[in-house]
């Protein structure tokens, strides 16, 4: 009966006598060891296993025979096919009525379970290593209570808190949920959803600083209990980079927009200057003709034409300044001197309720720029500041020497590193909203009521600064005033004394070749010079001028040519003529600066420019000066 019972059990079972010989076995035991029953019956452990293993088994059996009772141990052995087995062996001393004693053993094969446990342990070890070494913050939450049960070192380092500061807290007691009304609802999302992601949340550090984080949670089971793992990635640097990129994009787009508007403004001003040259020349000619040239009732109309024409000239000058196509003559300049000259006018124009304060660096570096243009910059900024302080305030003008470093350039990509002279104009006025600042330097943009401004003042400032190879920065917020910082590259060129100007004569008898593609401008130029006694030869384009100059029958003392013409420009015409007439003098006419003059419209040495629109008097004086200069 005993034999029948052990055969029916699935576990491997054996019975040993006091000689440690196997006297009873079931099929499960035979299959486990890999031998038929007849080869196992009567065998001891030393017959079946290596001596070291057999000695351990025999020692345990001896103890059980001495003390009786039950023993349980984990055993390992290698099967006949080389496979390792892990077994739980439970043995009990059994005494028959006749006094014979036997050991009854039952084995449970836990090989597969052990493999799984080892894999889990290895996985847990790997996870713990990753958890400890991760460069993202990790929180483990109890999925039911929402309490934090684990936190990794990176999150402690990121926030400045200690481990004890986290453990046992609810997730809504720390950032990113801290002090948020929807915190519990957010945790309900973490509980209900297998995956939750927040792209930008504020995590509060121990020092009160706000850290931008990306928050991702997953729900999974551990030992049959749901936990929530929250991965917290620091994206502060990324957010800062995105912010800087947006600023740079805005700067770039604004620069492109202003460049496009500038090209349009320059083209309009160029054509309009030709028209103004004709209007002003004709009006001045009539005006200088004296009594009888026009009817008395028309004299006032003529004066109005001249006044309107000069105002239009000022508008085109401002447009050209914005477009950076104005012909300028930059020199090494002490901005302190320019500020002092402007102070005299500003004290009268700002009004009694605006206090003017100047803080000038005593050893200010030189900047290479046009003195008249810089006066225009200061006056425009000052008038703009005055209008922003209707109830009075303070206007501060400062100069300083500044070394622009690479870090500053990174924040303001349109600047260059190196020594600069900084002109700062700031006020305590109303300030500006962001939408106003975005369009501030665009021509004709103004916040003033109709009739109170053209919208060209700050556009002109922008163009002058850029043409002087400088940069202008703006800081302003509503009710916190406005600050304009103008950075001009330092120059070490020597200051050249400017000779006193002496009014030139206006008449002559020499021959002049005039090259102008605009027929009306050509007509008034020829007429004005003819009226001053000159013999004038006219050409409508560069090719025609070269053909005239190639003739041996034609001689002339001065070439007057427009700079910008279809086909050959003025410089090309002059170069072509000088090949055969190397000594010929040249006076260029231009409604605006262009690349044919030089970089950024700066006059090269030896080039004489007559700016359009010009009056009859100005034309005659410059022609006389050009003829007398050689």
Q: Over the stretch 377-398, which tens digit does the pLDDT of each residue have?
A: 888 888 888 888 888 899 999 9
Question: Chain-centre distance of CA 226, in angstroms?
Answer: 44
CATH number for the domain running over 115-234 = 3.30.450.20
Comparing C-alpha atoms, which of 595, 598, 527, 607 is closest to residue 559? 607
> In the CATH hierarchy, which top-level class contains the domain 2-109?
alpha beta
Mean pLDDT, rounded, of the chain: 81
d(CA 422, CA 424): 6
Residue position matching structure tokens 């309107």 = 308
d(CA 12, CA 30): 8
Distances, alpha carbon 393 to alpha carbons 83, 446, 453, in Å: 94, 21, 21
- Measured from the Cβ of residue 323, the count of other Cβ atoms closer than 10 Å reads 29
pLDDT digits (tens, 9 = 90+) for 167-195: 888 776 765 555 554 555 566 677 767 67
Distances, alpha carbon 440 to alpha carbons 222, 223, 339, 384, in Å: 61, 65, 23, 11
CB 425 within 8 A of CB 304: no
Comparing C-alpha atoms, which of 259, 484, 488 is closest to residue 384? 484
Residue 1 has pLDDT above 80, yes or no: no
What pLDDT sits at residue 395?
Answer: 92
Residue position matching structure tokens 């901005």 = 335
2-109 and 115-234 share one fold: yes
Does 350 or 39 have the greater pLDDT score?
A: 39
CB 483 within 8 A of CB 425: yes
CB 465 within 8 A of CB 377: yes
Contacts 24+ apart (CB under 8 A), 341-348: 341/375, 342/375, 342/378, 342/379, 342/382, 345/379, 346/379, 346/382, 346/395
pLDDT digits (tens, 9 = 90+) for 530-564: 999 999 999 999 999 999 999 888 899 999 999 88
Does 23 or 347 have the greater pLDDT score?
A: 23
Distances, alpha carbon 329 to alpha carbons 148, 308, 601, in Å: 72, 27, 9
Under 8 Å CB-to-CB from 500, ≥6 apart: which residues? none
d(CA 165, CA 178): 14
Among 3.30.70.360, 3.90.1640.10, 3.40.50.2000, 3.30.565.10, what is the CATH number of 331-491?
3.30.565.10
Distances, alpha carbon 284 to alpha carbons 67, 553, 615, in Å: 137, 35, 7
DSSP state of 290: -
d(CA 422, CA 403): 10
Alpha-helix residue ranges (DSSP H) falling in 289-370 = 296-323, 335-349
pLDDT digits (tens, 9 = 90+) for 421-469: 999 999 998 888 887 877 777 766 666 665 555 556 787 788 888 878 8
d(CA 578, CA 559): 10
> Does the global pTM surpass 0.85?
no
Residue 254 has pLDDT above 80, yes or no: no
**What is the mean pLDDT of the segment spanning 99-109?**
89
DSSP string of 204-226, one letter each residue: EPTTS-EEEEEEEEEEEEETTEE
CATH number for the domain running over 511-628 = 3.40.50.2300
d(CA 333, CA 496): 10
Comparing C-alpha atoms, which of 151, 137, 141 is closest to residue 235? 137
Helix, strand, coil share (%) of the chain residues, nearest 5: 45, 25, 30
CA angle, 447 then 449 then 452, to 5°: 100
- Burial annotation 196-221 (CB, 10 A radius, 16+ → b, else e): beeeebebbeeeeeebbbbbbbebee
pLDDT digits (tens, 9 = 90+) for 514-531: 999 999 999 999 999 999
Domain ranges of the chain: 2-109, 115-234, 331-491, 511-628
Band of pLDDT at residue 402, cut at 50, 70 and 90: very high
Question: Chain-centre distance of CA 419, in angstroms?
Answer: 23
């Amino acid at each position: 009966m005993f034999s029948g019972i052990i055969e029916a059990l699935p576990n491997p079972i054996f019975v040993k006598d006091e000689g440690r010989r196997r006297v009873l076995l079931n099929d499960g035991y035979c299959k486990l060891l890999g031998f038929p029953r007849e080869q196992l019956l009567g065998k001891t452990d030393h017959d079946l296993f290596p001596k070291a293993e057999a000695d351990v088994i025999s020692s345990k059996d001896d103890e059980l025979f001495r003390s009786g009772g039950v023993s349980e141990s984990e055993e390992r052995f290698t099967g006949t096919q080389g496979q390792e087995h892990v077994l739980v062996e439970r043995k009990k001393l059994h005494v028959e009525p006749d006094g014979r004693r036997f050991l009854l053993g039952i084995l449970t094969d836990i090989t597969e379970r052990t493999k799984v446990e080892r894999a889990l342990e290895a996985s847990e070890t790997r996870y713990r290593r990753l958890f400890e070494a991760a460069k993202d913050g990790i929180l483990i939450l109890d999925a039911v209570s929402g309490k934090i049960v684990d936190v990794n070192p990176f999150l402690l380092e990121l926030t400045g808190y200690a481990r004890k500061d986290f453990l046992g807290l609810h997730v809504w007691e720390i950032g990113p949920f801290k002090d948020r009304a929807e915190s519990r609802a957010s945790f309900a999302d973490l509980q209900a959803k297998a995956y939750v992601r927040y792209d930008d949340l504020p995590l509060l550090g121990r020092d009160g600083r706000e850290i931008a984080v990306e928050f991702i949670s997953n729900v999974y089971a551990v030992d049959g209990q749901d936990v929530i793992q929250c991965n917290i990635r620091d994206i502060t640097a990324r957010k800062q980079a995105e912010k800087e990129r947006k600023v740079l994009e805005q700067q770039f787009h604004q620069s492109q927009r202003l460049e496009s508007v500038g090209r349009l403004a320059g083209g309009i001003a160029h054509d309009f200057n030709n028209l103004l040259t004709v209007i002003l020349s004709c009006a001045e000619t009539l005006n200088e003709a004296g009594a009888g040239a026009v009817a008395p009732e028309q004299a006032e109309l003529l004066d109005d034409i001249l006044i309107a024409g000069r105002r239009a000239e000022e508008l085109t000058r401002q447009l050209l300044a914005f477009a950076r196509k104005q012909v300028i003559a930059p020199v090494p300049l002490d901005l302190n001197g320019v500020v002092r000259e402007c102070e005299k006018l500003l004290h009268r124009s700002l009004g009694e309720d605006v206090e003017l304060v100047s803080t000038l660096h005593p050893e200010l570096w030189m900047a290479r720029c046009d003195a008249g243009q810089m006066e225009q910059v200061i006056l425009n900024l000052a008038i703009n500041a005055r209008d922003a302080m209707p109830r009075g305030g303070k206007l501060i003008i400062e100069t300083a020497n500044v070394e622009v470093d690479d870090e500053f350039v990174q924040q303001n990509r349109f600047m260059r590193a190196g020594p600069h002279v900084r002109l700062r104009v700031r006020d305590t006025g109303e300030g500006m909203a962001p939408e106003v600042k975005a369009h501030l330097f665009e021509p004709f943009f103004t916040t003033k009521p109709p009739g109170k401004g053209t919208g060209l003042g700050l556009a002109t400032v922008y163009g002058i600064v850029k043409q002087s190879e400088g940069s202008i920065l703006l800081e302003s917020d509503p009710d916190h005033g406005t600050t304009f910082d103008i950075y001009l590259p330092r120059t070490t060129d020597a200051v050249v004394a400017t000779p006193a100007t002496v009014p030139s004569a206006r008449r002559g008898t020499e021959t002049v070749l005039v090259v102008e593609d605009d027929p009306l401008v050509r007509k008034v130029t020829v007429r004005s010079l003819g009226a001053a006694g000159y013999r004038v030869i006219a050409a409508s384009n560069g090719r025609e001028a070269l053909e005239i100059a190639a003739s041996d029958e034609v001689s002339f003392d001065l070439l007057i040519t427009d700079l910008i013409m279809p086909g050959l420009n003025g410089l090309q015409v002059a170069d072509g003529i000088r090949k055969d007439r190397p000594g010929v003098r040249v006076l260029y006419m231009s409604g605006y600066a262009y690349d044919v003059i030089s970089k950024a419209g700066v006059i090269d040495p030896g080039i004489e420019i007559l700016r359009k629109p010009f009056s009859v008097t100005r034309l005659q004086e410059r022609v006389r000066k050009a003829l007398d200069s050689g």
